[in-house]
Amino acid sequence: MRLALASDHAGYELKKAVIEYLQAEGLDFEDFGCGPGESVDYVDYGAEAARRVVNGEFDRAILFCGTGLGMAVVANKFPGIIATACWDEFTATVSRSHNNSNCLTLGGRVLDPEKAVSLVKIWLKEEFEGGRHQRRVDKIHLLEQELHQLK
Ligand code: RB5
């Protein structure tokens, strides 16, 4: 699985901790910024990573900002992305098993690094349950088609 990572300044430290974990596990990822000491707009960085998932270069994205919320809003603008802001083990689990999340968003001002790594581990291993959840996710993708045709 190829992972696209991105953060703003408020998510940078959390991203660093997750990168250390991914490297230790030998997982395949690329970081699309920002770098240390920059103050940036999360929109630009989240969009870059989400775009690369939508175009098939990457399988999933993990995005970091202050709360996880801004990155989720941005990524969810991209058809095909299901971005879920998670804050504990339960939300990380069901974001995969029920929502089939392909984009995890985490907040550097609401999570400590150990918790973030624990959520990433869960989100990477948890499988989508399908069944009734598949029907619901299919409806989300139908909405995307409908909304994009309206443009
Ligand atoms: C940046 O200060 C902060 O607003 C941003 O990281 C994030 O929390 C947005 O959702």
| Model confidence, pTM | 0.97
Please give the distance, rounded to the nearest whole angstrom, from the Cα atom of residue 122 to the centre of ligand 1: 24
Q: What is the pLDDT of residue 138?
A: 97
Stated length of the chain: 151
Residue 98: active-site member: yes
Task: Report the first-to-last Cα separation within the chain, whole angstroms.
Answer: 33
Closest ligand 1 atom to the C-alpha of 70?
Answer: 10
Q: From the candidates 9, 34, 65, 103, give the one annotated as an active-site residue.
A: 65
Q: What's the total number of domains in the chain? A: 1
Q: What is the CATH number of the domain that holds 14?
A: 3.40.1400.10
**Percent of the chain's residues with pLDDT above 90:** 96
Q: Which domain holds residue 126?
A: 2-150
Residue 7 in contact with ligand 1 by CB distance below 6 A: no
pLDDT tens digits for 3-48? Answer: 999 999 999 999 999 999 999 999 999 999 999 999 999 999 999 9
